[in-house]
Chain A
Amino acid sequence: MTTLLEFAALGLGLGAVYIGLSTGLLLVYRATGIINFAQGAMAMWGAYVFARVQDDGELVLPIGTIWFPEPPGTAVALLVGLANAVVLGVLAHYLVFRPVRRAPALAQVVVSIGLMVALQALAVIRFGPNSIQVESILPTGSIELLGATVPLRELTMVAIMIVLAAAVWAYLRLTASGRATRAASENERGAVLMGFSPDRLALIALVLASLVSTMAVVMGGSLTGLSPANYTLLVVPALAVVLIARLESIGLAVAGAIGLGIIQSELSLLATRSWWPQWAQSGLDQVLPFLLVMIILFAFGKRLPARGSLQSVRLPDVVVPRFVPWKAALLVGIAVACLVFFTPSYRFGLTTSLIIAILALSYVVITGYLGQISLAQSAFAGAAGFALSKLTTAWDVPFPIAIVVCATLAAALGMLVALPAFRIRGVQLAIVTIAAALAIERFVFDNYSLTPPTGNPIGRPTLFGIDFAIREGRNLARLEFSLMVLAILVLMVLLFVRIARGDTGRAFLAVRANERAAASVGIDVRRTKLIGFGLSAFIAGVAGCLIGYSRGELSAESFSVVVGLSVLAVAYLGGITSFGGALVAGVLGPLGLVYTALHSVFDMGNAYPLITGIGLILTAVLNPSGIAGETRHQVEWVKRKLRSGRAAPPAAADAAPAPVPAEKPRETTGV
């Protein structure tokens, strides 16, 4: 009993952090209608700044540092940290969220994910990848309560956060601008009628949210230490809390945050008991929020308040893909030539690019064609990868069959994740899928009783006596492996083109445009979503197997949520609606060709995710059709110029391809 109570008290610390993050999320949502996936990352930045100023008087800015003559003490450090939070809130408003305030849900999800990726990458660059200690600003000591020793730290922390949450509540209830924010969240015209600019209200909300969340992470960091990853991803359980609060009530958010914190803490206690199954010990902290998210969205998803100005889920252009043999042959020829003549490190980079292109293609299917936001693609890839390890080592399943089996497994998992998509869509689906991905990552991939820490070796792929393994002796990037990957990519693109041009692709686009109308023309919307999720998870699974083969041995890091998000970033950057975009994404992707090239010129490994994060934000804000789409527009523009420039030169007119209607770029006007 006393142990239970002591663990409950420990859970208060986590609960306090959740209060800070969920209050921030809620405030931003009420003011802008955007779920800010970067809430944790933003808060982490201010906390880092605080920790370093307090530790050695070094004020770390995104670029450059300012040194205090001597460490200025906790109070000043806290002020500096919070000042950073304010600046970050202002910048996030003007540079990231304001430009997309009328954009489709996908663009809004994508910018906040871009911000999250960029901030996390920047934290790695500026503060290092490892966890740092944060000195506590809270009182030490403890009090006796019902026979248990309850630390004062957690109690104070939760008290402070409740006060701050109450202040936010008071702002929303009692001040005129707060009331206008609430009016705006029901109907944007409401705020305008009350004489407030919604824009101004959004700015205030972002700054306040940043402050409250940062305060929570400053205190939480002293309990757990700070690392670039831990608080960034704490946004996921905080999202569960926000859903408990029905995206409305600060009071419910506080209660939910404390409840979740305590339950998680108690669970970690129970998991140490002898009767607790060993396979279920890891990742419980993420499984619980995921279950919560699922239950709430399933039960109440439709009744959750939506924003007054309902935006349509509009997506970038789609072009019905065509398979042009000579172009394909040319591309394959170039790729083969590069693979043959490249040095091993470039060959490895290009091979990685080919694999990432496959993973990006899975986003093209699910998001570009079916219009569903899935943040779980890396989990599908990982599931296939780990299955491959078991299949090839324990059961000796031979090479190409093993890939098919594992990708099919991933497809089954994808269909499972499709179930929530029957009821919910848009940003809510993004929340479910990121929660699912994180739960799978922590519960399965990081689970030592399922995936032993000694390593998950993968058998060598051989077919007809040819060894396709990536390594042999000192050769770390064998040509055979690269050619095998290229062949599989071509196969996947062919598969995609056939499906995208066929009845299935058309049905996907119809569902993406208008689910109601789709049902009225006889499309089984649920089955179509099942097919879409299954197909995209299958493609992701193939990529996962190849990632496995390319490493020879699997680790959970290859398939972390963050890896998935950075591939989403490059997929969106390349152009999420075409396989050309997926190829561009592959070239740009982490550890891919561009990365290898830049890396060989100057050491910039850590800067790469930062660049992709910023690139993602810029793409979402400036050019939603991505690089591939933009290139296509420009090519068309040049073609038009050429045609109109020379007044009907007969030879050129003959050579110019006949305008095929299906080649017209198109956009969805949407639901």
Chain B
Amino acid sequence: MSEPRAGLHTTSLTVRYGGVVANADISLSVEPGQVVGLIGPNGAGKTTFVDAVTGFTACTGSVELDGQSLDGLPPHRRRALGLTRTWQSGELFGNLTVAENILVAARPGGAGALWRDVFGRRDAAGKAVVGRALDAVGLTGVAGTLARDLTLGQQKLVGVARALAGTCRLLLLDEPAAGLDSNESLEFAERVRSIAAQGPGVLLIDHDMSLVLGVCDVVCVLEFGKPIFTGPPAVARTDPAVVAAYLGAPMETVDA
């Protein structure tokens, strides 16, 4: 550790669930502005990696964001530092509207907020935050809808918008495009690129191979919790270990 490095860096990150080693010695970097794909078969440990990085699961090894160690920090503190994520299962606040789902991420309460709620003046700054976040994922006309009334695809997108609200220095997306059709998926790829172009690094997990290989600068392939390949997508297609992991099937047709 010589000098502060921008972006997310994990060193020998390892997660054990009882006897199962769900993540084995993963050292991965996501630089600012970069889109890194994380792929692998079901149960390979992709979600576990996101959980470990964001503090939802205990791990050994170390996690560092913009030169600052995150080890031991609870999830909300990591989020406050700009490490944001979405959930594979959506996990929106179904009882809140889309706008409120985003607003709650931009202003997560606390003692200062309580003081402002009681004694302060209302401001309209929230509206702008919501508008920007929804624009970034291309959702319109849903701000007042209850989150649980959305379609699955919309819920995933609101999840992304929620992760963009407030400070976002690194974005971890766990299968955000599940529930989108192939056209929407392409459009979504565009948006991921433009999000990254504005600064934050993006870690993208998805089943849609064409999306991942098309949009990512680097892909990392997990198998049984171990990274078996890290490198440019073009190389991944022909890498023998990767091909073997997918049982030799041509990768475009495989459901990660």
Residue numbers of A with Cβ under 8 A of B are 318, 495, 498-499, 501-510, 512-514, 516-525, 527-528, 531, 535, 661-662, 664, 666-670
Name the distance in Å between B255's Cβ and chain A's nearest Cβ: 26
Q: Are B95 and A531 in contact (CB under 8 A)?
A: no
Q: Are B113 and A502 in contact (CB under 8 A)?
A: yes
Interface residue from A498, A522, A528 paired with B105 (Cβ < 8 Å): A522
**Residues of chain A lying within 8 A (CB to CB) of residue B162:** 521
Name the distance in Å between A339's Cβ and chain B's nearest Cβ: 28
Listed residue (A498, A519, A531) with the most chain B CB atoms within 10 angstroms of its CB: A519
Closest to A664 in B: B146
Q: Are A521 and B118 in contact (CB under 8 A)?
A: no
Known: A524-B76, A524-B108, A528-B109. A669 touches B148 (CB 8 A): yes
Name the distance in Å between B141's Cβ and chain A's nearest Cβ: 11
Listed residue (B95, B110, B166) with the most chain A CB atoms within 10 angstroms of its CB: B95
Listed residue (A318, A520, A670) with the most chain B CB atoms within 10 angstroms of its CB: A520
**Residues of chain B lying within 8 A (CB to CB) of residue A508:** 109
Name the distance in Å between A22's Cβ and chain B's nearest Cβ: 32
Closest to B102 in A: A521
Chain B interface category by residue count: 35 or more
Q: Are B117 and A507 in contact (CB under 8 A)?
A: no
Cβ-based interface call for B103 (8 A): yes
Closest to A659 in B: B144
Q: Are B95 and A521 in contact (CB under 8 A)?
A: no
Q: Are A509 and B92 in contact (CB under 8 A)?
A: no
Cβ-based interface call for B207 (8 A): no
Within 8 A of A (CB), among B68-105: 74-76, 79-80, 84-85, 87, 91-97, 100, 103-105
Interface residue from A513, A661, A662 paired with B95 (Cβ < 8 Å): A513
22 cross-chain CB contacts under 8 A: A495-B118, A502-B117, A503-B116, A507-B110, A513-B95, A517-B93, A518-B93, A519-B74, A520-B54, A520-B84, A522-B76, A522-B80, A523-B104, A524-B110, A525-B76, A527-B111, A528-B110, A531-B114, A661-B144, A664-B97, A664-B144, A666-B96
Name the distance in Å between A362's Cβ and chain B's nearest Cβ: 16
Closest to B81 in A: A522
Listed residue (B92, B109, B118) with the most chain A CB atoms within 10 angstroms of its CB: B109
Closest to A513 in B: B93
Known: A506-B109, A507-B109, A517-B87. A499 touches B56 (CB 8 A): no
**Residues of chain B lying within 8 A (CB to CB) of residue A514:** 91, 93
> 10 shortest A-B CB distances, which residue pairs?
A661-B144, A507-B109, A502-B117, A669-B94, A522-B79, A521-B105, A668-B95, A503-B113, A517-B91, A522-B108
Cβ-based interface call for B107 (8 A): yes
Closest to B118 in A: A498
Q: Are A666 and B114 in contact (CB under 8 A)?
A: no
Q: Are B113 and A504 in contact (CB under 8 A)?
A: yes
Known: A503-B117, A531-B114. A513 touches B94 (CB 8 A): yes
Name the distance in Å between A6's Cβ and chain B's nearest Cβ: 51
CA distance A535 to B80 in the complex (A): 24
Closest to B93 in A: A513
Known: A506-B103, A513-B93. A522 touches B166 (CB 8 A): yes
Q: Are A502 and B116 in contact (CB under 8 A)?
A: yes
**Residues of chain B lying within 8 A (CB to CB) of residue A666:** 95-96, 146
Q: Are B110 and A513 in contact (CB under 8 A)?
A: no
**Residues of chain B lying within 8 A (CB to CB) of residue A505:** 117
**Residues of chain B lying within 8 A (CB to CB) of residue A504:** 109, 113-114, 117
Closest to A499 in B: B117
Name the distance in Å between A319's Cβ and chain B's nearest Cβ: 11
**Residues of chain A lying within 8 A (CB to CB) of residue B148:** 669
Q: Are B117 and A520 in contact (CB under 8 A)?
A: no
Beyond A502-B117, A510-B96, 13 additional contacts (C-beta under 8 Å) are A501-B117, A503-B108, A504-B117, A506-B96, A506-B107, A507-B109, A507-B110, A516-B56, A517-B91, A520-B84, A522-B79, A522-B166, A670-B94
Q: Are A520 and B87 in contact (CB under 8 A)?
A: yes
